[in-house]
Amino acid sequence: MKVGIVGAGMVGSAAGYALALLGTVREVVLVDRDAALALAQAQDIAHAVPFASATQMGAGGYDRLQGADVVILAAGVSQKPGETRLELLGRNAEVFRAIVGEVLRVAPDAILLVATNPVDIMTDVATRLSGLPPTRVIGSGTILDTARFRSLLGAHLGIAPQSVHAYVLGEHGDSEVLAWSAARAGSVPIRAFAAQVGAALTDDVVARIDHGVRTAAYTIIEGKGATWYGIGAGLARIVRAILRDEQAVLSVSILTPEVEGVSDVALSVPRVVGRAGVTAALFPELDRAEHDALRRSAELLKATADALTL
């Protein structure tokens, strides 16, 4: 199995590093407009491989992506001083116009995995530009937010985050929705489990965890400028689900026909992910406030996407 990564910056290289250490794939190829950067990242990761796996690392132009099963899109431009969010989106859409065409020229059967932010809008853009079925253009969405939610819940309850089944829905961003009412520890509703182990989910605890999930990225960015390890591991997890045809339930973003009355919007809900891409969407049971919050998140994303001219 072969994975391509377009964009050899911190996110792209972190994804490549995670894939190499996990040994999920046979080959990883990095592509970047800065060929020297792509080569340097590939060589650096290759020097870690002997300690962990047999993954082959490479770098080059788009032709090196031939035969790729999955291509991660991690390229984009930075916001200029005085530039609006919509203007930035327009420039990133132009970057994607060139990238997507080149990727599909050499790897027409690849599943596209979008990591570039704002990831939900860029997933919509990649879907429209590629002409591929939405099920084959997957955004990393709230997979990282969901991991943060489970990590904080697990820490409070004193259990492994892998035993927490809770999801963040909607936008990967400020309007995201923590689905508290559907959260479970094992098979037990989260509040009942918390009461059983003497770790009650008081209003203060809920507010602290909610704040921790929503502000995690801001805290990390303030401290070191950007986030990359968490999302790199999240991208590797999605790739594993695809290449091993796991039919795993992951909170990822695709262009969705309808969510809370909003049509054709890219956002995250739990979805079944395997070799064919996304094969099903699962909508958790939510309370009224969560339904309303998810609708507002969908409306915000839809309005932004509709304002963007391709």
Active-site residue (options: 156, 165, 172, 291): 172
Q: Would you list the DSSP string of 144-170?
A: HHHHHHHHHHHHHHTS-GGGEE--EEB
**158 phi and psi angles, rounded to 5 deg:** 75, 30
Q: Is 184 exposed, middle or buried (0-12, 13-18, 19+ CB in 10 A)?
A: middle
Hey, which residues does 57 pair with through a beta bridge? 28
Query: What burial letters (b/e) apply to 295-307, b meaning 16+ CB within 10 Å?
Result: bbbbbbbbebbee
Q: Whats the size of the chain, residue-wise?
A: 310
The yes-or-no answer on residue 165 being catalytic is no
Cis previous bond, 81, omega within 30: no
Contact 39, 256 (CB under 8 A): no
**Residues involved in catalysis:** 172
